Structure 1
Amino acid sequence: MRIRVKLYPEEHDELVLPLHYNHAVQGFVYSNLDAGLARWVHDEGHAYFRRNFKMFTFARLGGRYRIHQGRISFLEGVTIRIAAVDADLLASIAEHLLKRPQVRLGNEVCRVDEVAVEPKPEVGQEDRLVVRAASPITVYSTLTTIRGSRKTYYYSPYEDEWSQGIISNLARKAKSLCWQTDPERDLEGSYLKPLRVTTRDMSVVNYKGNIIKGWLGIYELRLPEPYFWLAYDAGLGAKNAQGFGMFDVLRPRQVMEEPEVCSHNAN
């Protein structure tokens, strides 16, 4: 399930945020949840061994903008799109926003102009879909160097480990939800492979001082239907609750008309 929120600044003509705004948007999500639910999602979530899946994600902010001196200014308000597996999470956000005359996004005081449920895409029985990353998709491994230090390696969509990591991550999400099935068997033959992805689609995000690399672009996605909806609601790849892995389904005509996109979070 997904919702779309439209905000306008109350105190200024433009809504000004840090260029790397993922933490501000994540804070917006948590601050507009019931306190108990926010604590559970943040501290516990859906656990699988050492993993803690929050099961929500969000897209890059939408709206006309300009970038100046390391900040991004939205000129006509901003749109936040949030997806979640748990409908109660989105319902809590919507309820809070509709009751509050003012909310905060980062340091900006905003008024809520719209809260709407997004319609689901019509995917029918198709198991191969063309999708566009609505926020960067990230896949990584933590490696130990010969000196004993730890290093994070981020994969590109053109490395075999990219698709493998996507599918393995999705299997762990299904297990964290206690699905009574065998995800490894179910996901045999599944993949996410690049269709229109260039170096311009690499996005480098500074999240609370940590550098995270992800990729935008257009991909072919093959998943069994239940796993497609899990990915659609929870996000593809890692670090979803930090604003990574949300995607949209494209129809064939949209693929032909889709312009190349350069991320405003990219360095």
Structure 2
Amino acid sequence: SSAIYGLIKVGDEILSAQLHYSRDIKLHTFSEIMASKRKICDEGIVIMDKASLVFSSPIHDVVRAFVEGILSMGFLSIEDSKMIVESVEVPKTPEFAPKMTMHTLSPIIVSTAVDEKNRMKKWYLMPDDPRWYVNLEKNLKQKYRKVYGKDVHGHVRINVIHCKAKLYKIKGTPVRGAHMRFEISADPELIRLGYEAGFGEKCAQGFGCVDVV
């Protein structure tokens, strides 16, 4: 996520600072780096061919800053490696309907707070727990309220078709999410927001990015 914020900073330094230091819900997401040929080794992942990254936000200024930043820099820096940017493309926006099928480009994270020895601890949920669906819907509606300044009515119904859990570490802290394929039934504008801002938590750290099947 530091690489993404670095590019946004190049495009718009003031906006980058507002995003970075705000404790409010972040309204952007990005995918994992996708490559057809890659090799996993002890040092990490070696990309052996061209790769792509999806960045998305319902906020035009955020997208503008990211695009201006990556075009200005000409590369994406990840730790000690640099990926040269060959092109930036704007995909065609899907037609959003009351029921759609999606798959993740980065894992979806959903959590809840549990009391453990008089201390509140974050517990990561999977779709086999009913709280996963409740908290995912709550998070999505909070994002909608943040963007549009109003509530959206109706329920969000999700049918998980396939799910694979993944464990990550963010600044040394274990984080559990899941790659999945799922059907979602909801207000089309709410589905659109999930598509643009990401589903679930920690989207600005590279989680919850999806595409339409």
Between the aligned partners of 1:233 and 1:206, the Cα distance in structure 2 is 25
The partner residue of 1:35 within 13, 36, 60 is 13
* Alpha carbons 1:203, 1:216 under 8 Å: kept: yes
Structure 1 residues 226 and 27: CA distance shift in structure 2, 3 A: same
Using the size of structure 1 for normalisation, the TM-score is 0.74
Structure 1 residues 129 and 42: CA distance shift in structure 2, 3 A: same
Structure 2, gaps ≥5 residues long = none
* Alpha carbons 2:7, 2:73 under 8 Å: kept: no
Between the aligned partners of 1:236 and 1:191, the Cα distance in structure 2 is 13
Equivalenced residue count is 209
Question: How far did 1:99 drift?
Answer: 2.5
Using the size of structure 2 for normalisation, the TM-score is 0.91
Q: Which amino acid aligns with 2:157?
A: Y
1:249 match: 212
2:99 match: 128
Instruction: State the secondary structure of the residue aligned to 1:177.
Output: helix
Mapping of 1:41-80 within 5 angstroms?
41-44=19-22, 52-63=24-35, 64-80=37-53
Instruction: State the secondary structure of the residue aligned to 1:52.
Output: coil
1:167 match: 137
RMSD: 1.6
Q: Which amino acid aligns with 1:28?
A: A
* Alpha carbons 1:167, 1:190 under 8 Å: kept: yes
1:189 match: 155
* Alpha carbons 1:157, 1:193 under 8 Å: kept: no
Instruction: State the secondary structure of the residue aligned to 2:123.
Output: strand
2:170 match: 207
Instruction: State the secondary structure of the residue aligned to 2:86.
Output: strand
Q: Deviations over 1:199-235 (max 9, x none)?
A: xx10111111111111112111112011111111111
Structure 1 runs of 4+ with >4 Å offset = none
Larger radius of gyration: 1
Between the aligned partners of 1:70 and 1:142, the Cα distance in structure 2 is 34
